Amino acid sequence: MVGANKGIQIAAKAFAYVVLIIVVLCMLVPYLWMLSSSLKLNKDVFTFPMQWIPELPRWSNYQEIWTRIPLGTFIYNTAKLSIIVTVLQILTSSFAAYAFSKLNFTGKKTLFLGYIATIAIPWQAYMVPQFIMMRSMGLNNTHLAIILLQAFSAFGVFLMRQFYQSIPDELCEAARIDGLSEYGIWARIMLPLSKPALSTLTIFTFVSTWNDFLGPMIYLTKTELKTIQIGLRMFISQYSAEYGLIMAASVVSIIPVLVVFLALQKYFVQGVASSGIKG
């Protein structure tokens, strides 16, 4: 009987692994097709049956995309916005999360619930008032408009607070007795202990800002200010039949995101697990 139950458990685990592998392969197929197509001539992209590994890889696609459009400028603008927004969100979210988790003040719970409730409101519902506000401040066609609008994140505050809740209050009390200020406690105790949560927030924020299309589309009209997503859309509209070049540009655009995720993957898993379990 015990052997039969063990056999059933092994079979169930094997079945689960097979299902997971199939799901992963289904998710990877579009990216593999994109990578394969980026090394082909336009006429070979949609050939059937598909040739996953081209006989003569066309590496020149990755050289041409830099001359067809100002791809370097687009990548620079996107990296600039992504890095600045990510740093600001980490600072503002960790500051606010520390206050909501470790400080006592009147109306703390009400303020926190009200702030977190804004997550339920879709951005499309208030993007017009935001645009009018930015225009009245003279920030149209500036990166500053996007930076100011994305420097604060209710989700980031929620994520960081959930993690800070798992840190014993006794550590903060001991630091206060030793004479540390609240800023000192935040910098010397909370931040070093919250690397998993910070890495998780970094990945979410960087990827979201890097892939943002609608925000830059609304606020940025000058070519020298546009981001990679707007640049790709412009490239597709100008060279709609250049499928190999389009795929090469798409591959280049996802490399920074892949690098950031792989660099922080270890802490990302820890951050999601700890924030979810101890929240």
Q: What tens digit of pLDDT does each residue of 46-105 get?
A: 777 777 788 788 888 888 888 888 888 999 999 999 999 999 999 999 999 999 988 888
> Which range has the worst mean pLDDT, 3-12, 36-45, 91-100, 212-221?
3-12
**Rounded (5°) CA angle 27-33-37:** 160
Q: Outline where 38-168 has alpha helix (H).
A: 61-68, 71-102, 108-117, 127-136, 143-150, 154-164
Q: Using 50, 70 and 90 to split pLDDT, how confident is the model at 274?
A: low
Q: What is the mean pLDDT of residues 32-55?
A: 81
CATH 2.60.120.10 fits 61-277, yes or no: no
43 half-sphere exposure, CB direction, 13 A CA radius? 0
| Statement: residue 109 has pLDDT above 70 | yes
Q: Using 50, 70 and 90 to split pLDDT, how confident is the model at 205?
A: very high
pLDDT recorded at residue 56: 81
Domains in the chain: boundaries: 2-37, 61-277
Q: Are 275 and 200 in contact (CB under 8 A)?
A: yes
pLDDT recorded at residue 268: 66
Residues 167-194 pLDDT 10s: 888 888 888 888 888 888 888 888 888 8
Burial 146-165 (b: 16+ CB within 10 A, else e): bbbbbbebbbbbbbbbbbbe
| Rounded Cα gap, residues 207 and 254, in angstroms | 9
Q: What is the DSSP letter of 119?
A: G
Within 10 Å of residue 98's Cβ, how many Cβ atoms? 24
- Select the more confidently predicted residue: 6 or 85: 85
Within 10 Å of residue 264's Cβ, how many Cβ atoms? 20
Q: Are 95 and 152 in contact (CB under 8 A)?
A: no
| Structure tokens belonging to residue 102 | 């470790």
pLDDT recorded at residue 94: 92
Residues 6+ apart with CB under 8 A from 188: 175, 180
Q: Using 50, 70 and 90 to split pLDDT, how confident is the model at 269?
A: low
Residues 134-179 pLDDT 10s: 889 888 889 999 999 999 989 999 988 988 888 888 888 888 888 8
| Statement: residue 210 has pLDDT above 90 | yes
Q: Using 50, 70 and 90 to split pLDDT, how confident is the model at 278?
A: very low
7 SS3 class? helix
> Which range has the worst mean pLDDT, 168-177, 208-217, 263-272?
263-272
Q: Which amino acid is at 160?
A: M
Q: Using 50, 70 and 90 to split pLDDT, how confident is the model at 279?
A: very low
